[in-house]
Amino acid sequence: MTHDAPAYGLWSLVIINTLFFIIFATTYSVGGWKKNWRELGMFSAFVLALFTEMYGFPLTIYFLSGWLAARYPGLDLMSHDTGHLWSTLFGLKGNPHFSVLHILSSLLIGAGIVLLGYSWQILYDAQRAGKVATSGPYSKIRHPQYVAFIAIMLSFLLQWPTIPTLLMFPVMTWVYARLARREEQASIEQFGDAYRTYMADVPGFFPRLDRLFGGNAPDRQPRR
């Protein structure tokens, strides 16, 4: 990429991409901002930091400019391709948009978006019916919606790592794990033994291999 086509300073793209992911996350978060404003606020900060460096100003590249210039002589620090730091650090050749890491990150983003939307609908329907969500992704793991958020953030780190997002990712993962535990306690209070049985049958975040491609969890609902 040459400087004839500016790689940064594209603030309209920063705003458009940030708003898209914030609105998407809010739409498919049960309870929305009212219930999960802390977590959604942190996710919003994550995507804002990401797209600011991707299209606005490359803070991480600027911070590492001395080291990068010494290690990679002739590297165009203001090229958009350089922002794909994993490709630069691993010495990958060719267009980074067609690298294995970029393709994997795109697949993870797509999978995360599909999982989040599918899980939201199942959980929403179950909540309206006053039942435990046990079908679809909920037959494999108890918290597919948070797995989806983590997968989306991880995919962005594979595609465009920055110092702020690398620091925020483990914090966000811990926040989602903590939120999941709180929701489990609330579900136990609401559904009692039915949810305890569900917890014993279905893992929280990592599906069992026999369940991943096998049958669903038993449909145990609370007795009224």
Please report whether residue 3 resides in a domain: no
Domain range holding 164?
11-212
Please report whether residue 219 resides in a domain: no
Please report whether residue 48 resides in a domain: yes
Please report whether residue 221 resides in a domain: no
Q: How far apart are CA 99 and CA 73, in angstroms?
A: 22
Please report whether residue 182 resides in a domain: yes
- For the stretch 107-127, pLDDT in tens is 999 999 999 999 999 998 998
Q: How far apart are CA 112 and CA 69, in angstroms?
A: 36
Please report whether residue 220 resides in a domain: no
CATH number at residue 23: 1.20.120
Residue 207: what are its φ and ψ, rounded to 5°?
-70, 150
| Confidence (pTM) | 0.84
Residue 217 banded pLDDT, cuts 50, 70, 90: low
Q: How many domains does the chain have?
A: 1
- For the stretch 31-86, pLDDT in tens is 666 677 788 889 999 999 999 999 999 999 999 999 999 998 888 888 888 889 99
Torsion region of 91: left, alpha or beta (phi above 0 gives left; psi -120 to 50 gives alpha): left
Please report whether residue 6 resides in a domain: no
Helix (H) or strand (E) holding 114: helix 100-129
Helix %, strand %, coil % of the chain (to 5): 70, 0, 30
Q: How far apart are CA 137 and CA 18, in angstroms?
A: 27
Provide the terminal-to-terminal Cα distance of the chain, rounded to the nearest Å: 64
Please report whether residue 222 resides in a domain: no
pLDDT of the residue at 97: 86
